[in-house]
Amino acid sequence: MHAHPRRVRFESSDAVAPHQFGVLAQLNESPRTPRELADHERVSAPSMTRTVNGLVDRGLVARTDDPTDGRQVIVSLTGEGRQLLKDIRRRRDAWMSVRVSRLSREEQDVLRQAAVILARVASE
């Protein structure tokens, strides 16, 4: 509480479970209500309450009251949560980059084209 705030992040575990990562990624787009988070992740409201609680306890997200509707709360990323998401993505990208970089240019093109096709199929 008195010195190197970055040490805290680097010393703590960066691990987040898949369902937590999904919430962080959503909140990186914009703040959301628990209802919106639950619908997007296709889990029940109580499950999302639990997930959000865990992220709040870790200081990665924060709850604030909706100023216009007293029933709702707004969940948003903290600076720490945003930084953690960024770190995780950087690490994942690095992991994949190494493997893709070993492929030939033609192979990389095939993967790029396949990604486009699969994205279209998945959205049907």
Partner DNA sequence: TATTGTTATACTCTATAACTATA
Partner DNA sequence: TATAGTTATAGAGTATAACAATA
Task: Provide the binding-site residues for a second copy, judged by CB under 8 A.
Answer: 99-100, 103, 107, 110-111, 113-114, 117-118, 121, 124
Query: For DNA, which is the closer residue by CB, 15 or 98?
Result: 15
One DSSP character per residue, 59-120 reads TSEEEEE-SS-TT-EEEEE-HHHHHHHHHHHHHHHHHHHHHHHTS-HHHHHHHHHHHHHHHH
- Cα gap 15→65, rounded to integer Å: 28
* Closer Cβ to DNA, 41 or 80, answer by number: 41
Nearer to DNA, 10 or 67 (CB): 67
Q: How far is the CB of 116 from DNA (least distance, A)?
A: 29
CB of 44 to DNA, least distance (A): 3
Site for DNA contains 20 (CB under 7 A) = yes
| Among 18, 38, 5, residue whose Cα is nearest residue 88 | 18
Span from 1-9, 62-70, 87-95, 115-123 in contact with DNA (CB under 7 A): 62-70
Residue corresponding to tokens 């209802």 = 35
